[in-house]
């Protein structure tokens, strides 16, 4: 189904300018274009950035003398809205008819098992990052850790991450999970989905939200 993944990328990147977060960037045609940068991050082999970049250039352009270093690539990456990767993932799930009763997908007694959870994790300790995630610096006793909170929903039997949100580490888990649920309503088949949570999500408003989606707990 790789061609469906490529199709999802091409569809989302048809209007790539909406994923450029800095004015006048990616406005000119270059040999290594916006689409190439996105595909590099999606298909790199996971070794060093420079080795992956050299391999990617050689495979795509049959040459390695194109002037692009990992430093250049890292700078270009800052001009890209990371939401583009979520859009590609959603488009791929649509392409494979994930919300249809497809016998190719693994289920439990005919139901998709969707697990939800959240966790704090460390993010780069730079001033711009701390400002973005509203991490305070004004303590005279200790510097607040550079952390963020991830909240997500995953199809545990098929390995699809259906939605993920990164927020301030002080945010409560429940409001983020409500956002996750809203984000996947056009992706899943709610009547054939069972949601699984740990005891930290035992809240009546979450149960009501899922019941109103015509899903199960």
Residue at 217 is within a domain: no
Residue at 29 is within a domain: yes
pLDDT in tens, 162-174: 999 998 888 899 9
Query: 122 and 36 in one domain?
Result: no
Query: 111 and 177 in one domain?
Result: yes
The per-residue pLDDT for 101 is 72
Per-residue pLDDT, averaged over 61-65, amounts to 58
Q: How far apart are CA 166 and CA 129, in angstroms?
A: 12
Query: 167 and 103 in one domain?
Result: yes
Query: 104 and 75 in one domain?
Result: no
pLDDT in tens, 185-201: 999 999 999 999 999 89
pLDDT in tens, 131-165: 888 887 666 566 778 899 999 999 999 999 999 99
Q: How far apart are CA 205 and CA 63, in angstroms?
A: 57
Higher local confidence (pLDDT), 2 or 46: 2
Of 94, 124, 157, the last residue of a domain is: 94
Of 94, 126, 152, the last residue of a domain is: 94
Query: 193 and 108 in one domain?
Result: yes
Query: 11 and 40 in one domain?
Result: yes
Residue at 173 is within a domain: yes
Query: 149 and 119 in one domain?
Result: yes
Q: How many domains does the chain have?
A: 2
Of 94, 111, 142, the last residue of a domain is: 94
Residue at 202 is within a domain: yes
Query: 39 and 123 in one domain?
Result: no
The per-residue pLDDT for 49 is 65
Query: 136 and 80 in one domain?
Result: no
pTM of the model: 0.83
Residue at 120 is within a domain: yes
Query: 206 and 114 in one domain?
Result: yes
pLDDT in tens, 79-124: 899 899 999 999 999 999 998 877 889 999 999 999 999 999 998 8
Domain span holding position 38 = 2-94
Query: 88 and 43 in one domain?
Result: yes
The per-residue pLDDT for 100 is 84
Query: 183 and 116 in one domain?
Result: yes
Does residue 176 surpass a pLDDT of 90?
A: yes
The per-residue pLDDT for 107 is 94
């Amino acid at each position: 189904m790789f061609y469906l993944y490529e199709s999802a990328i091409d569809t989302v990147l048809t209007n790539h300018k909406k994923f450029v977060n800095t004015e006048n960037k990616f406005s000119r045609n270059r040999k290594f274009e916006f689409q190439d940068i996105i595909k590099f991050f999606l298909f790199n082999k996971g070794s060093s950035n420079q080795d992956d970049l050299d391999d990617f250039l050689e495979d795509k352009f049959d040459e390695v003398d194109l002037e692009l270093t990992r430093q250049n690539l890292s700078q270009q990456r800052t001009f890209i809205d990371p939401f583009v990767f979520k859009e590609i993932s959603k488009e791929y799930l649509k392409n494979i008819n994930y919300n249809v009763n497809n016998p190719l997908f693994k289920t439990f007694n005919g139901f998709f098992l969707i697990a939800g959870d959240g966790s704090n994790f460390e993010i780069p300790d730079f001033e711009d990052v701390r400002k973005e995630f509203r991490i305070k610096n004004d303590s005279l006793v200790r510097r607040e850790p550079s952390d963020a909170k991830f909240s997500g929903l995953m199809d545990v039997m098929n390995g699809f991450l259906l939605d993920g949100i990164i927020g301030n580490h002080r945010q409560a888990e429940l409001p983020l999970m409500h956002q996750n649920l809203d984000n996947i309503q056009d992706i899943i088949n709610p009547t054939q989905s069972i949601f699984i949570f740990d005891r930290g999500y035992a809240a009546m408003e979450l149960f009501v939200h899922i019941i109103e989606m015509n899903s199960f707990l």
